[in-house]
Every structure is written in structure tokens, then in C-alpha cells.
Structure 1
Amino acid sequence: MVNESTRLSAHDWARAALKAMADGGLAAVAVEPLARTLGVTKGSFYAHYRNRDELVAAALAEWVRSHGDEALTELAAVADPARRLRELLTVVVQSVQPLAPSVHLSLLGDRNDPRVRDAVREVNRARLDLLSRTYRELGLPPDRAVSRARVAYAAILGLLHLAQTDPDAPNSAILAEEATAVFLPV
């Protein structure tokens, strides 16, 4: 809980909005409940944003930044494509925690909102582009590289979904090893 005298940043509000989105989609982003969660008054919110829509836009921009191209920069720089794929799958699968909410999956319920649709599309594009490039560098022809990337990405999203509903999900290290074995071309 933040002390009332502590001044929150716009970024603090955006992160809190993302957590609310993970728990309940766009509908869960409301100023008063967020202020209570953060332990501040609504005045703190209005010091940074004019309205809820600005907060939603900032939160979605933060999600795209932290899960799209910018977040993948370090992995994209790994020269060996097999190592890159192994690290990418390991990072993603190990971040999947049983019963943990997911911004990505929660946003799918709001996919008709143009802001959400654009943000999800941008994150999906960044991830699929990196996976496709990696599979091409591993020797797959371009069309197969794109198909393999889509299947790998679908499996990643499926693991996120299962983790939200299965308290007995296998250890993430085991899942990462299995994902690597399945999705690295022989």
C-alpha cells in the first residue's frame, strides 16, 4: 500500500491498470478501485491523466512496449538461431505461473475494442516475426517458417491459458524443455 503522501507516477498508474486488465479485462480499469488498491486518492490519478481512456491507452502502450519489439530486442540479438529459440521458449514458458492472470488472454475478451485489437496485433506481430525469422535461420523455407512460428506461438498462448485454470500444471522448467524439444527443427 502506498502512503498517501507518496506521489505516484503515471507509470505506476499504468502498471496498476495492466494488473487490473489481467484480472478482469478493460472493464476492471476504474479510477476509484485503482486508487484504493494503490492507497491514494483519485487526485493522484488526475495529476497524470485527464480520464480513464488516457489511462487505458497508456497501459496498453506499456504492455506493447514490455511484450512487443522492445521486449524482444535482447533475444533478437542472439546470433545462434537454435539458442535464440531455446532461450525464447524458456523465457516464455518459465514466465507461465499456475493460476496467474494474463493481460494477453484477458484482453482477448475485449478484442473488438480498436485499442485492444491494435495492441494485441502489435504484440502478436513482434513475437511471430521473431519466431518466423528464427525458423528461417534454422533452415526452414519461408512458408514453413511462418507456419511453424504460428504453431509455436499458439502453443505458448495455450500454455498461458492452461496455467490460468490448472493448479496442477507441470513445473515450468519441464514445460520449457518439452517446448524446446517439440519446436526446434531436427
Structure 2
Amino acid sequence: MNESTRLSAQDWARAALKAIANGGLAAVAVEPLARTLGVTKGSFYAHYRNRDELIAAALAEWVQSHGDEGLAELAAVPDPARRLRDLISTVVHAVQPLAPSVHLSLLGDRNDPRVRDAVSQVNQARLDLLTRTYSELGLPPERAASRARVAYAAILGLLHLAQTDPDAPNADVLTAEATAIFVPS
């Protein structure tokens, strides 16, 4: 591999996230990742001292892409009803039948403090956005928070079903049904 095609630390972190999605933290191993990326272990050690640093970087990448920063574009949609429809559509269209999920795979490692922290940050960012959106739609604070939790639980349920049900309805049907349930008319 020449200098212009050398992998970055972020390339390694993203590869580790794919491994996590497929098998949790236990799936993050330097040699198999190097083979998958088509490089030697030396490439890994140019960026990280050890596997724990890679796991920390992968979790930070996931928090960044799925937490507040990852939600920034949706959060900026001024119309709360449109924001909620866009959020539902984005989630449903991202869910692929039998596709692995970093979020759901991390739940198997929830006793690891690094995982607990990352999942907590992502959950909180998503719940905050949903709560704010329901508040802007006119729900009182407690009801907005409650509705946000139910909507978020449904989102996580869709991820779970996508991992286990090859016959799940297509994205357009799921988007229409979820919108009918969670977007006030």
C-alpha cells in the first residue's frame, strides 16, 4: 500500500464499528480487521497502541455520527412535524432486513462502562431531539418526554425486527405506518 492509500485512524475505527455491529466488542480484533482492510497489523499500530484505544475511537465515532452531531441536520429542520416525518423516514429507510446494528450489538456489552457511556450519549441525544420536537408540536413537557420514549422504543424495535425478520414490510409501508402513529395530525 503506498502513502496515498494509507488507512487513517478513522478508517480503522469505522472497520471496528462494522465488526461491533456483527459481533459486539469481542469481534474487534486487530488481525481480522487488518485482513478485511487489506493491510498489515503495522498499519494499525501506526494509529493505535492497542485494541482498547481502537474500541474507544470506534465508540467515539459512533457517538459522533449517531448522537448530537449526527442529528444536527434533522434538528435544524424548522417545522417540527416535518422534522419528525424526516426522522422516521430516515430511520426506516436506514433499516435493512437482516442488517447488523451497532446499537443493538452494543447492548450485549452493556456492562462495559465505555459502552454504557456511548449508548447513554446516543440515547440521550435522540430522546432530547424527539422530546424537543414533541414539545414544539404542542405537547406539555411530561407528555412530550413520554411520547419521545415510546417513539424511540419503536425505532429500536424496528432495528431489532430488521435483524431478525426477513419478511418485514418494505420501508415505504413502515414509514407510512410509523408516521401515522407518531406524527400528530
RMSD, matched Cα: 0.7
Counterpart amino acid of 2:76? A
Q: Percent identity?
A: 83
User: In structure 2, the residue corresponding to 1:84 is in which secondary structure?
Assistant: helix
Give yes or no for the alignment of 1:62 onto 2:44: no
1:92-145 CA deviation, whole Å, 9 max, x = no partner? 111000000000000000000000000000000000000000000101110000
Q: Match of 2:121?
A: 122
Q: Match of 2:88?
A: 89
| Structure 2 segments unaligned to the other structure (5+ residues) | none
Q: Which runs of 4+ in 1 moved over 6 A?
A: none
Q: Match of 2:157?
A: 158
TM-score of the aligned structures, taking structure 1 as reference length:
0.97
1:50-107 CA deviation, whole Å, 9 max, x = no partner? 0000000000000000000001111111111000100011101110000000000000
Deviation at 1:169, TM superposition (A): 1.0
Deviation at 1:185, TM superposition (A): 2.1
Counterpart amino acid of 1:137? E
Deviation at 1:174, TM superposition (A): 1.2
Give yes or no for the alignment of 1:37 onto 2:11: no
Counterpart amino acid of 1:57? A
Deviation at 1:48, TM superposition (A): 0.3
| Structure 1 segments unaligned to the other structure (5+ residues) | none
Q: Match of 1:79?
A: 78
1:8-51 CA deviation, whole Å, 9 max, x = no partner? 11011000000000000000000011001111110000000000
